A and B are shown apart, each in its own frame.
Chain A
Amino acid sequence: MTPLLLSLKLALVTSLVLLALGLPLAWWLAFTRFRLRFLAEALVALPIVLPPTVLGFYLLVVLGSQGWLGQAWQRMTGHTLAFSFEGLVVGSVIYSLPFAVQPFTAALTGVDQRLLEASASLGAGAWRTFLRVTLPLAMPGILTGVALSFAHTLGEFGVVLMLGGNIPGKTQTASIAIFDNVQMLDYASAGRQSLTLMAISFALLVLIYGLDRGRSWRLR
C-alpha cells in the first residue's frame, strides 16, 4: 500500500471510530450535570497542547510488548499493537479526539433546548427526539468533527513515528514518507506528496467551512 493510500485509510478508520466513540462522549459532556465535567473536558483537550512525541511515547509504553494493553492485545491476536496499523488507529483516535469531540459537543449543546422540550411535549421519547430533532440539527457540527479529525489524522507525524516506526506498506504514512524522501534528498517525490496532502487538506477545510455556511435553518 502506498503511503498516501495508507494515510487515507488510517484517516478514514480513525474518523469513523471517533464518530462511534466521540458522539456518546460528546453527548455526555453536553448534558451531564457531573460536577467534575471540566476534568473530562481538559482530558479530551489534552492532545491539542501535548507534543505528539509525548503522546507517542506514552502510547508506546502502554501499547508496546511490555505494556499492559500491548500484552493483552498480543495474547488475543498474536502480534503486537505497536508498529501495526491497529496501533496507529488507537494512537490516531486519541490524537484526534478533541478535533471530533469538541465540534460534536458544541453542535449538541447548540440545539435549542426549547425544541427538545417541544419534541417531548409532543410525545416523543428521548431516542425519537435524538433521531428526529437533535441529530439533524447537530449534523453540520458532527460532519465538521468528522472532517476535522480526518484531516488532522492525515497530517499526523510525531505519534505515527513514535508508535508505528516507519515500516513501508504497513505504518509508513504520507507525512513520514515525505520526511524520508527529504532525508534521502529526493525532493521531487517529497514535493509531489506534499502537494497532494496539501490539496486534500485544503479541499477538506473548504468542505468544513462550506458546511458551516450552509446552516441555513436557524431559529431567530
Chain B
Amino acid sequence: MSAPGVLKLNVEAPLDQFELSCAFQVEREVVVLFGASGAGKTSILECIAGFRRPERGRIEIGGRVLFDAASGVCVPVHLRRVGYLSQQPALFPHMTVGENIAYGLHDIAAVEREGRVRSIMERFQIAALSGRRPGKISGGEQQRAALARALVCDPEVLLLDEPLSALDGRLKSVLLELLFDWQRERGVPMLYVTHDPQEAYSLARRLLVVELGRITADGDPRNVLESPVSREQASRAGYENLLEAVVEERHLELGTMTCRIAHDLRLETPLADAQAGDAVTLALRAGDILVATESPRGLSARNLVPGVVELVEERGGMVELSVRCGATLLRVHVTRGARQSLALEAGRAVWLVIKTQSIRYLRG
C-alpha cells in the first residue's frame, strides 16, 4: 500500500455550455463538491479519473503527476490508481459479485487476492453474495459491491459521484459509515459530489460550491450554505423564498434592519452591511416560517405577517403553501398533520411568523 498524498488540481476544460476552470487542493480529508446538475461537478471528477482530458492545467496526487498540459503528460486511466464510483454501480454483469471485486487485483498473488476480497466482502457484509450475479441482487447490495470493488484496490484518491442518491435513507447511512470509516483508516483524499443540501451538511467539514464550471465558495458547509453567495446557490440550499427588498431603516442598537418588500410588506432582518435605500435580496427558507390561524400574542419573533392561503400542494411527506401577503407570495412548508389540524385550505386567512435571524442576505 502506498502512502496516500494530497490531491492538487488546476484545470481548464471546455464543456458544452461553459468552460470548466477550477483549482483546489484536497488533503487527506473528505471534500464535498456541491452544486446544481450540469454545474461541472462530474466533469471535475472525470478529469481526475482520466475519462476527460483537460485542455490546460495540471493534476497530481501525492507528487505523482497524472496530467500536465505543459509537459504533455496524461497518464492513462488504468495507471492512475483512482477509485471511481457513480450512481450506477456498473458491476460487470457476466461476473459474480466475488469476481467483480477481485477484478482490480489481477496483478497480485492468488492467495493474497482471495484474502483481500474475502476481508472486504465481510466488512461490507456481502460475503454471502459472492457467487451471485449482479442482476440477482438488490440495488443497495449492488452499490455495496461496487464500493467494495473500488476500495479493495487501495486507490490513492476516491471519487464519488452521487454514489448513494438512488438508495433510501437507512441504507444510505449504513454505506456512508462504511465509506467514512475506510477513509479515516487510509487517510485518502475523497471527493464526494452531491446536489442534495442535506447530504452536503452531514458529510463533510469542507465543501466546495461549483457553479458554471467554477468554484464559487470553499469552506465549512454550514457557513457556505447558510450565507448564500448567489441566487442559484441559495435556491439549491433550500431557500425557497428570494425577495427583492429595499433597506428602510437600520437599528444599530437592536442589531436589525427594517426592509421593505414591494410596497406593503415590511420585515425586520439581521443587520447587514447595507445603507438605507440600498436594494438587497432576502433569502428565507419555506420551512423556517410558522403558520398560525389566529393572531398570536406574546411572540419573541419580530415579524408577524397576515396573509391568505392561495394554493396548497402536497409534496412527498410535507405540504407547501403559497401564501399571499399583499403584493408578495411566500412559500411556506408545513407537515401534513399541521395542515389537517389547522384546516389549511385555499382561501384560509393565516398569520405568518418569521424570526429575524432566519432571514439571510444574498450577495450581489
Q: Is B76's CB under 8 angstroms from A125's CB?
A: yes
Task: Tell whether A132 is near chain B: CB-to-CB under 8 Å.
Answer: yes
**Chain A residues whose CB sits within 8 angstroms of the CB of B153 once the complex forms:** 122-123
Task: Tell whether A35 is near chain B: CB-to-CB under 8 Å.
Answer: no
Can you list 8 residue pairs at the A/B interface with Cβ under 8 Å?
A117-B84, A118-B90, A120-B76, A123-B79, A129-B78, A217-B93, A217-B135, A219-B90
Contacts from A to B (Cβ < 8 Å): 112, 114-115, 117-125, 128-129, 132-133, 136-137, 216-220
CB distance from B149 to the nearest CB of A (A): 7
Instruction: Compute how far the CA of A216 lies from the CA of B133 in the bound complex, rounded to whole angstroms.
Output: 11
Which residue in chain A gives the minimum CB-CB distance to B82? A121
Task: Tell whether B24 is near chain A: CB-to-CB under 8 Å.
Answer: no
Q: Is B93's CB under 8 angstroms from A128's CB?
A: no
Instruction: Compute how far the CA of A112 lies from the CA of B86 in the bound complex, rounded to whole angstroms.
Output: 14
Residue interface mask B129-153, A partner, CB < 8 A = 1: 0000111000000000010011001
Instruction: Compute how far the CA of A4 lies from the CA of B79 in the bound complex, rounded to whole angstroms.
Output: 53
Q: Is B51's CB under 8 angstroms from A117's CB?
A: yes
Task: Tell whether B83 is near chain A: CB-to-CB under 8 Å.
Answer: yes
**B interface bracket (residues with beta carbon within 8 Å of A):** 20 to 34
Residue interface mask B44-66, A partner, CB < 8 A = 1: 00000111000000000000000
CB distance from A124 to the nearest CB of B (A): 6
**Chain A residues whose CB sits within 8 angstroms of the CB of B77 once the complex forms:** 117, 120-121
**Chain A residues whose CB sits within 8 angstroms of the CB of B86 once the complex forms:** 114
Given contacts A114-B90, A137-B94, A219-B93, contact A121 B49 (CB under 8 A): yes
Given contacts A114-B88, A137-B93, contact A121 B135 (CB under 8 A): no
Task: Tell whether B106 is near chain A: CB-to-CB under 8 Å.
Answer: yes
Interface of A is mostly: helix
Instruction: Compute how far the CA of A123 lies from the CA of B103 in the bound complex, rounded to whole angstroms.
Output: 9
Q: Is B106's CB under 8 angstroms from A123's CB?
A: yes
Q: Is B104's CB under 8 angstroms from A122's CB?
A: yes
Contact of B78 among A114, A115, A120, A133 (CB under 8 A): A120
Given contacts A118-B84, A123-B81, contact A220 B135 (CB under 8 A): yes
Q: Is A217's CB under 8 angstroms from B94's CB?
A: yes
Instruction: Compute how far the CA of A199 lies from the CA of B336 in the bound complex, rounded to whole angstroms.
Output: 69
CB distance from A40 to the nearest CB of B (A): 26
Q: Is B92's CB under 8 angstroms from A216's CB?
A: no
Highest count of chain B CB atoms <10 Å: which of A115, A124, A137, A219: A219
Which residue in chain A gives the minimum CB-CB distance to B49? A121
**Chain B residues whose CB sits within 8 angstroms of the CB of A114 once the complex forms:** 86, 88, 90
Task: Tell whether B253 is near chain A: CB-to-CB under 8 Å.
Answer: no
Instruction: Compute how far the CA of A219 lies from the CA of B133 in the bound complex, rounded to whole angstroms.
Output: 11
Q: Is B104's CB under 8 angstroms from A218's CB?
A: no
Q: Is B135's CB under 8 angstroms from A122's CB?
A: no
Task: Tell whether B185 is near chain A: CB-to-CB under 8 Å.
Answer: no
Instruction: Compute how far the CA of A112 lies from the CA of B146 in the bound complex, rounded to whole angstroms.
Output: 16
Which residue in chain A gives the minimum CB-CB distance to B139? A220
Q: Is B90's CB under 8 angstroms from A123's CB?
A: no
Q: Is A125's CB under 8 angstroms from B78's CB?
A: yes
Q: Is A133's CB under 8 angstroms from B92's CB?
A: yes
**Chain B residues whose CB sits within 8 angstroms of the CB of A115 once the complex forms:** 90, 92-93
Instruction: Compute how far the CA of A118 lies from the CA of B76 in the bound complex, rounded to whole angstroms.
Output: 13
Instruction: Compute how far the CA of A120 lies from the CA of B81 in the bound complex, rounded to whole angstroms.
Output: 10
**Chain B residues whose CB sits within 8 angstroms of the CB of A217 once the complex forms:** 93-94, 133, 135
**Chain B residues whose CB sits within 8 angstroms of the CB of A218 once the complex forms:** 93, 135
**Chain A residues whose CB sits within 8 angstroms of the CB of B91 once the complex forms:** 118, 219
Task: Tell whether B294 is near chain A: CB-to-CB under 8 Å.
Answer: no
Instruction: Compute how far the CA of A220 lies from the CA of B139 in the bound complex, rounded to whole angstroms.
Output: 10
CB distance from B174 to the nearest CB of A (A): 22
